[in-house]
Structures are given as structure tokens and as C-alpha cells.
Amino acid sequence: MKVSTSLLGGVLASTAFAAPGHGFPSVPTCTSPVIRKEFRNLSTTEKASFLGAVKCLMALPPKLNATYPASTSRYEDFLVVHQENTPRVHWAPMFLPWHRGFLQDFEDALRDECSYTGGLPYWNTALDFADISASPLLNGNLSFGGDGVGDFVPPEGPSSGGNCLANGFFHDTRIHIAQGPAPAVSDDRCILRYFKPFISAFWFAPDKVATIMASPNYTTFEPAVEGDMNPLNPFPTMGLHTGGHAAIGGDMSDMFTSNADPIFYPFHANLDRLWAKWQAVDPTNRQYQVGGAIAPRGVLNMWPTAPAGDMTLDYVLEPLKVKASSSFTTVGQMMNTKGKGVRPAPGKPRGVLCYEYQE
Ligand SMILES: [Cu+2]
């Protein structure tokens, strides 16, 4: 990596300090980043400890039910916050930084409230494109479980399986929020799955990931990874994110309540990992590169009152209140996974993140 006296050079070298006189004190404090590993590379003990911590969040009482009365647990606090924010943070450049912060809050909750000591694991979906049902993440007692079973056919149409998750670590988990947009509606139900392997065979394939990673700038990378849905021709424009949600199906194909299914978290961590990898290809130009209209793309018109203009590093990511007080607010603070203590530019709030993905 080029270490220069330029502003960005000071930011990028985790041990370097920016040259004095720029009014841009960089005080990197991310000296031992949390390591986020691929789930299948966790030891049996690590798998049990991560999955157990998620179950712990499911058993803890909610903290947000003054705002969201339907939430019955800390796990469901995250569900209703995602549900409420969905129209503002999907099909838009906010997608990546908002979900990066959201995952950080989830990892923090596992660690602070459920004594978890590891990093949030990710799911390298490219390893399973040929057959998601054979994935180590979706098989066995220490996994997220497989396709749904039962003969209910959800509105999204028939496919390879049924509906209720019935095996794996979360086979008996009940969710108390109905699918669909905010406000949250109480419901007592299973976690829904409905595999569509033809979609994952297409979008999880390594050549599709390579195409996404070859995007030259943020305004092309972001829709490539998230999806740039053209309602007239949805399949070829799903992208890795929407394709993955659709391939797992059930809860994952409901864009509001998809994180009812715990596989949401390793799946989204993988998208975050790809963004960090894409940034690392050319950190001088990409570490703090954002852009694109704040208003969501497409004809869904999910956020009619969106402000005009492009997303910048100063854009305030509110409301994101899963924790009593989130340690970050702006897009700029979400741009560098090892940027704790580092300002994206003079006068901007210091970064708060300190983790890295193990390949
Ligand atoms: Cu989302």
C-alpha cells in the first residue's frame, strides 16, 4: 500500500498519522480488529457459541418496545428496526453503509448482551452456488438449518420445498412479527424458508461475483451487489443480494422482515465483506468513495419524501436505534472497517469500526 503524506494516505495506513498542519488529526485506534470468519471455518465450539448467542438475543426481553410494541425480544428489536428502515435503505446507495452499521450493532449486541467473544461470521455464498441445500451453513444441528418443510405454498409460488424451518439450531424458534412493511404486526409463527436453487445457481456463481467486483466505482458497484431491480425483467437484475434473498425464500424474500431468518446475518456479512474487498483493491480512491441519488431507484417509489441530491459522507444514518445509543451516525463513519479513530476528511466525525474479514 502506498503510504503518502496525502490526507487519504494518512487515513489508510492504520499505523500512520497524517502530517501535522492539515487540521486532520488521524488517531487510528483499531489495533486488534475483531476477526469475522466464514461460518464453515469456525470450530464446533465457535459455531455453538455464535448460534447460542443469537438464541440468547431471542430470549432477552426487548428494549425498544416503547417504540415498537410488537417486538418481544432483543432479536426482534433488530427485526422491527430493519422493517421500519427498509424503504430508505434499499435500492439506494445507503444500502451498504446502513447495513454495515446494522451488522455492527447486531455483533455488538451479541458481545455486550450475550457474552459472545467472536466476530460475526459470514457466508461465502460462492462456495455453495452449485447446491445451496448442501451448504454446511444449511445442514446439521450446528447450522442455520435447511429448506422449509410442510405443504403450505407461500404467495411467492411453488418451488423445491415447503415453508417452516424444521431442522438446524433454530428449528423451534418462534417469530412474533408478521411479514410485510412497518408498522410491525404481532403474529406467532415459524421461520419461513422456500429454497429456489435455480436463482442461487445463477447469482452465487463465482463469475457473477467477479463481475460485481470488477465494478469501476461506487455508483456501479453498489447496484451490482445489491440489485438494480427492473420490474419488467427482474431475474437478470437481481444482483447477489436480491438473488440470495429470493433463493433462500420465505422470510428472506420479504424485504421488510427478512432478518426474521438468522441466515440474514451471515448472508449480509458476506455482502459487507465484498464491499470491503472492493474498497481494498484501490483504497486511495475507494475507501471513502460514495455517490448516487439518496432517493431509491426503480418504480417501487418506496420513499416518496426522500431528499433530493446524492448520498455523501455526511449523510446521517437515522433512525438506527437498535442500541440505546449508537456509536455512529454518518455514512463517513461506516466507510472503513478498520477506521476507528480516523477521520474520513478534515472536520468529519471519526470512524468507529474495527473488524476485518478472514478469507
Ligand atoms: Cu436490508
Summarised one tens digit per residue, pLDDT across range 94-143 is 999 999 999 999 999 999 999 999 999 999 999 999 999 999 999 999 99
Q: Which amino acid is at 8?
A: L
Whole-Å CA distances, 28 to 5, 11, 23, 280, 342: 15, 8, 15, 17, 5
**Residue 53 covered by a domain:** yes
* H/E run at residue 175: strand 175-177
CA of 247 to the centre of ligand 1 (A): 15
CA of 18 to the centre of ligand 1 (A): 35
**Residue 328 covered by a domain:** no
Domain that holds residue 231: 36-306
**Residue 115 covered by a domain:** yes
**Residue 340 covered by a domain:** no
Instruction: Give pLDDT, residue 160.
Output: 43
Instruction: Give pLDDT, residue 318.
Output: 65
Instruction: Give pLDDT, residue 163.
Output: 85
The grid coordinates listed for 196 are 429456489
CA of 96 to the centre of ligand 1 (A): 9
For residue 220, the domain's CATH number is 1.10.1280.10
Distance, CA of 191 to CA of 60 (rounded, Å): 18
Distance, CA of 182 to CA of 29 (rounded, Å): 38
**Residue 83 covered by a domain:** yes
**Residue 15 covered by a domain:** no
CA of 86 to the centre of ligand 1 (A): 6
Distance, CA of 352 to CA of 72 (rounded, Å): 29
* H/E run at residue 186: strand 186-189
**Residue 117 covered by a domain:** yes
CA of 209 to the centre of ligand 1 (A): 19
CA of 76 to the centre of ligand 1 (A): 14
CA of 225 to the centre of ligand 1 (A): 13
Ranges under pLDDT 50 in the chain:
1-23, 158-161, 324
**Residue 332 covered by a domain:** no
Instruction: Give pLDDT, residue 20.
Output: 38
Give pTM, 2 decimals.
0.90
Split into its structural domains, the chain has a count of 1
Q: How many CB atoms lie within 10 A of CB 158?
A: 10
CA of 21 to the centre of ligand 1 (A): 41
CA of 95 to the centre of ligand 1 (A): 7
Dump pLDDT digits (tens) for 163-207. Answer: 899 999 999 999 999 999 999 999 988 899 989 999 999 999 999
Among candidate residues 123, 65, 88, the one with its CA nearest the CA of residue 247? 123
CA of 82 to the centre of ligand 1 (A): 6
CA of 85 to the centre of ligand 1 (A): 8
CA of 256 to the centre of ligand 1 (A): 7
The grid coordinates listed for 55 are 438464541
